[in-house]
Structure 1
Amino acid sequence: MEALDAMETYGVISLIPVAVVIVTAIITKRALESLVLGTFVGAILIAKSAWWGTWFDYTLTEIGDSAYYIIMFGMFGAMIRILQYSGSALGFADIGARLANSRKKTMLFTWVLGIIIFVEDYLNALGVGVAMQTLTDKWKISREYLAFIVNSTGAAVCILVPFSSWGILYASQIEEVGVLGEVSGFNAYVNSIPFMLYAWIAVIVVPLFILGVVPLYGPMKKAEERVLGTGRVFPDYHYEEEIVDGMQDDTKPSNALNFIVPMIVLIGITIYTADIVFGVIISVVAAFIMLFFQKLMSLGQFCDHIVGGFKDMLYVTMLVLAAFVLQDFNDALGLTPFVIDSVAPILSPALFPAVTFIVIAGLAFATGSFWGVAAISFPIILPLAIALNVNPYMAIGAVAAATAFGSHACFYSDAVTVTCAATGLKNMDYARTALPLIGLPLVLGVLAYLVLGIVMA
């Protein structure tokens, strides 16, 4: 209700903060500063001359509400450091090298591993990103390409599996809308999976790029030419600014189980408790116990890695917190209800799937809020679908796929941020190289929804 009131008050003005963020990021190529500027603009629109106090209140509130994420990202950082410095990641790479014994096989192995870890997109980014660094570096695969492959099997795979965190949450939201009669939210979600066209295309297009069926283009092609020509897996500025510290140069591989067991613990505990923070804490402890008894890590080193992990993820944490604050201002301005209600009058049965996908995808990309956009969209889109005699499962599929696009493409989202942290990149590296490639499944997805809408109208 608050969002609808905000929509009546602010209307088209609610678009301004997001536009400022995107334009500023394109011009400056700096994600964090652009997000902070967007939050300033949102505060000014809401509070005018008293904007600073409003911005400060929103930010402090979000920091308090986001303690869970601060701990999660910090522990992710600790996990990454422990697995790398102990040689555990190198040990896993030695096992993986037996299967991934060529450049294309390594990329396909990365893709398959991403599909296997479907439970949670954070788990996917952390596990696959860290596990495959050594192998992809060995076969001269750019970190930009690694990040693209990893994030292409993140949310896009999660929404296609009803037992994932995304599937469970969306099923509960669908059931709460209560317009599908006796059909449970879970069954409705399962029935909608064939209609999640963008997600299917986004996953399938990755091996097509890898195998050369679809040639690389744009900045990603240049990134691959760079690494093949110079051996530099990171963007050139990383070496000029001495960002890459070569921390693995003196590290010797340890037993692959030192990587595999903590990852299994992480996945198992997360599934059992439905709490990824608890899962990563237990997995870090499990990793230390194994390494301690092998005399590969002392208690002091373990504590240093915990502190170092939080330091490593400071930028990541700040970026995600800034994105969350921007989401709060977008909600206060009524951005999502305004856009959806503005588009609703032009919807027709034939155009419904394509327009729904485009609008929700745009909102998800602009706000970086995927579950939040879905939560607002389902109560509006599903009744509209019923009123227009549109297949409700197709409507659910379009909304879910659109939010997966947001996770795939929004360069300041938590999903992309975790992916970049796990692959050693900056968010703008991902935006510059991955977005042109993501344009292909986006265009194909829109065309597919147009055809589907016409056929099923």
Structure 2
Amino acid sequence: MEYGILSLVPPILALAVALLTKKISFALILGIFSGMLIMNGWNPIVAATSSVQTLFEVCSDVGNLKVLVFTSLMGAFVLLIRVSGGVDGFVNYLTIKNKKIKSKTGAMLLAYVIGLLIFIDGLMGIMFKGTVTLPIFDRYKISREKLAWISDSTSAPVNALVPLNSWGAMLSGLIGAQVSAGLISGDPMGLLVQSLPFQFYNVVTLLFVLFIILTGKDFGPMKKAEIRVQTTGALYDEGVTPLMKDEEEEDILVEAGEGKMKNMAIPLFILIGFTFISLLYTGGGSILKGDGSLSIVYATIITLTYMSISYSKQGIMTGKEFVDYLYKGVGGMLSLVVLLVLAFAIGKTVSTIGTGPYLASLVEGRVSGSFGPALIFIFGAVMSFSTGTSWGTFSLMMPIAIPMAVAMDANIVLSIAAVVSGGIFGDHCSPMSDTTILSSSSSGTDLFSHFKTQTPYALVCAAISFVLFIVFGLFM
């Protein structure tokens, strides 16, 4: 059954309530319930039971479970390298002993470069950046909202621009389906690689982040956040409750300044190394075919095993204390896990009610070739923002955009780039996106603070990208 314009109600209601009340979980629950209400003949009782059923379904989904398990285990990982003194040792090494990081700009560039280097998986990169750079950002009085923005902005855009990961496999597969159908010709991965320079939202976002880091030309809510932390020292706005506890609230097991950098560096290298190995294993020898989420779970378990042995041998903690901190770290992620479950549930709701196909139907067959890529980008951006999923947007828009481009005689490569750019926009800044949620939590702030400070910057990048798609659409 098609619900037409009513399919827009769940995402719009969730966003409106989130903006008005600043209660993200409540907003997502209302969005889920409204969708079920529409799909169940406006029967509130059936809608309520269907909402609960949806929550159970997303929790039992294997893909979602991998993300939830990884998130929970990363909570333990982060806590353990903090209490072991690993983070303290790393910060002292960079800021005091070797003075590698001497300024605010240096701290932000560190987060930026880490984001560029960890292209294999966005979620792992986000957690990595937060763990490594949060104490340094606090030391130099840089707002946590700024860290969340840098972390988020160097996640999905980088994953898409460096397709040596599951993103590349997924996108080339979607393009390959159109090649197999005879609509276009060429090598799917080759077409994807050709589209990389024209993925304007991704490129513009990375350049924009670098511009802000080097010039300090903040504006809007982000500027207010920067002024707050520099003048008052407040790490976040009054009334904000971070999704993850601050380091100062934990019982560090070594004296201040005595922490060893190796207690963070070695586990991180093991985590990254075994993620690659696991990708090869799960992909049958091919990283591109590997299961990213499962690989990170494997790597995290192996890393935690190493940490238990290493910390015990160093006398930092006993085996029992390690297990206690393991449970404490996992438990500390409960609020984040709940938020992710709700995000998955509203994603399933808008998918079932047909929000994406309805938005796609608005653009199909209604534009000329020259302006096709620009409008594909806009509709993809709206779709991904409404659903909180880039991959879902790719799956819906690629089979529509390529036939449209062929029919309109629009540039195929530019149209592919528009689909990717539009999908990344929502993954980057939608409050229903898992990367947005994880970026705020790992940076020590809350989801609404991250959303309100990041959105103006994301919209500027989207506007520039839209203009570029128009210009290149006219001349390609």
Equivalent residue for 2:116? Answer: 115
Give the TM-score, by structure 1 length: 0.93
Partner of 2:230: 228
Q: How much has 1:180 moved relative to structure 2? A: 6.1
Deviation at 1:56, TM superposition (A): 2.3
Contact 1:92 1:256 in 2 (8 A): yes
Q: Which whole-Å deviations, capped at 9, do the CAs of 1:391-429 have from their partners, x for residues lacking one?
A: 211111111111221121112311011112211111001
CA contact (8 A) 1:40 1:55 kept: yes
Per the alignment, residue 192 of structure 2 pairs with 189
Q: Is the aligned partner of 1:30 residue 2:23? A: yes
1:430 aligns to 2:433 (yes or no):
no
Find the residue that maps to 2:89 and give its secondary structure. Answer: helix
Unmatched runs of 5 consecutive residues or more in structure 1: 1-5
Distance 1:407 1:330 in 2: 15
1:23 Cα shift? 0.7
Tell me which of 6, 18, 40 is aligned to 2:11. 18
Aligned positions, number: 448
Q: Which residue is equivalent to 1:311?
A: 331
- What is the identity, as a one-letter code, of the residue corresponding to 1:219? P
The answer (yes or no) to whether the contact 2:245–2:332 under 8 Å persists in 1 is: no
For residue 59 of structure 1, what is the aligned residue in structure 2? 55
**1:240 and 1:332, CA in 2 relative to 1: closer, same or farther beyond 3 A?**
closer
Q: Map 1:8-407; keep pairs closer than 5 Å.
A: 9-48=2-41, 49=43, 50-65=46-61, 66-97=64-95, 98-178=99-179, 179=182, 183-212=186-215, 215-238=217-240, 244=246, 246-247=248-249, 250=252, 252=256, 253-274=258-279, 275-407=295-427
Counterpart contact for 1:31–1:412, Cα < 8 Å: no
* Cα 1:281–1:177 shift into 2, 3 Å: farther
- The CA RMSD measured in Å over matched residues stands at 2.1
Q: CA deviation at 1:92?
A: 1.9
> How far apart are the structure 1 equivalents of 2:475 and 2:121?
34
Residue 22 of structure 1 and its aligned partner are, at CA, apart by 0.8
Deviation per CA, 1:5-58, whole angstroms, max 9, x where unpaired? x4xx21111111111111111101111110111000011111132222222222
Shift, 1:310, TM fit: 2.1
Check whether the contact 2:357–2:396 (CA below 8 A) recurs between aligned residues: yes
User: Quick check: 1:155–1:408 contact (8 Å CA) kept in 2?
Assistant: yes
Equivalents in 1 of 2:402, 2:248: separation in Å? 52
Deviation at 1:137, TM superposition (A): 0.9
Question: How many Å apart are 1:70 and its aligned residue?
Answer: 2.2
Q: Please name the residue that 1:3 is paired with.
A: none
Work out the CA distance in 1 between the residues paired with 2:445 and 2:241. 12
Task: Name the stretch that deviates more: 162-171 or 358-367.
Answer: 162-171
Q: What is the match of residue 292 of structure 2?
A: none
The AA in structure 2 aligned to 1:304 is D
Could you tell me how far apart the structure 2 residues matched to 1:110 and 1:53 are?
Answer: 44
1:141/1:389 CA distance change after superposition, 3 Å: same
- Secondary structure at the aligned position of 2:40 is classed as helix
Deviation at 1:245, TM superposition (A): 6.9
Change (3 A) 1:266 1:378: same
Deviations 1:330-360 (A, max 9, x none): 1221111111112113221111111111110
Instruction: Sort the Cα spacing of 1:243 and 1:93 in 2 relative to 1 into closer, same or farther, 3 A.
Output: closer
Describe the shift of the 1:181–1:445 C-alpha distance in structure 2 as closer, same or farther (beyond 3 A).
Answer: closer
- Identify the range of structure 1 (339-348 vs 28-37) with the bigger mean alpha-carbon deviation: 339-348
In the TM superposition, what is the alpha-carbon distance from 1:184 to its structure 2 partner? Answer: 2.7
Displacement, 1:241?
13
CA deviations 1:205-225 (Å, max 9, x no partner) are 11211222x611111111111
Task: Output the CA distance in 2 between the equivalents of 1:271 and 1:240.
Answer: 31
- With over 3 angstroms needed to count, the CA separation of the structure-2 counterparts of 1:219 and 1:249, relative to structure 1, is farther
Contact 1:115 1:157 in 2 (8 A): yes
Give CA-to-partner distance per residue, 1:432-451, whole Å, 9 cap, x none: 21112222211111111111
Instruction: Report the counterpart of residue 451 of structure 1 in structure 2.
Output: 471
Q: Please, what TM-score do these two structures have when normalized by structure 2?
A: 0.90
Say if 1:313 and 1:421, in contact at 8 Å, map to a contact too: no
The answer to whether the Cα contact below 8 Å between 2:374 and 2:470 also exists between their aligned partners in 1 is yes
Distance 1:239 1:431 in 2: 15
Residues 1:174 and 1:298: Cα distance change in structure 2 (over 3 Å) = farther
* Partner AA of 1:200 in structure 2: V
CA distance in 1, matches of 2:187, 2:223: 46
Q: 1:44 to 1:220 in 2, by over 3 A?
A: same
**Per-residue Cα deviation, 1:116-140 (whole angstroms, up to 9, x for no partner):** 1111111111111110011111111
Q: Deviations over 1:76-104 (max 9, x none)?
A: 11111111111111222233333211111
Q: CA–CA distance in 2 between the matches of 1:196 and 1:13?
A: 31
The one-letter code sitting in structure 1 at the alignment partner of 2:22 is K
In 2, distance between residues paired with 1:100 and 1:411? 32
Q: Tell me the amino acid that sits aligned with residue 216 of structure 1.
A: D
Identity of paired residues, percent? Answer: 28
Quick check: 1:353–1:395 contact (8 Å CA) kept in 2? yes
SS of residue paired to 1:300? helix
Query: Are the equivalent residues in 2 in contact too, given 1:88–1:256 (CA < 8 A)?
Result: yes
Cα distance change, pair 158–43 in 1 and its aligned pair in 2 (3 A): same
Separation in structure 2 between the aligned mates of residue 58 and residue 244 of structure 1, nearest angstrom: 33
Gaps of 5+ in 2: 280-294
Alpha-carbon shift at residue 238 of structure 1 (Å):
4.5
Question: Is contact 1:80-1:422 (8 Å) kept?
Answer: no
Q: Secondary structure at the match of 2:124?
A: helix
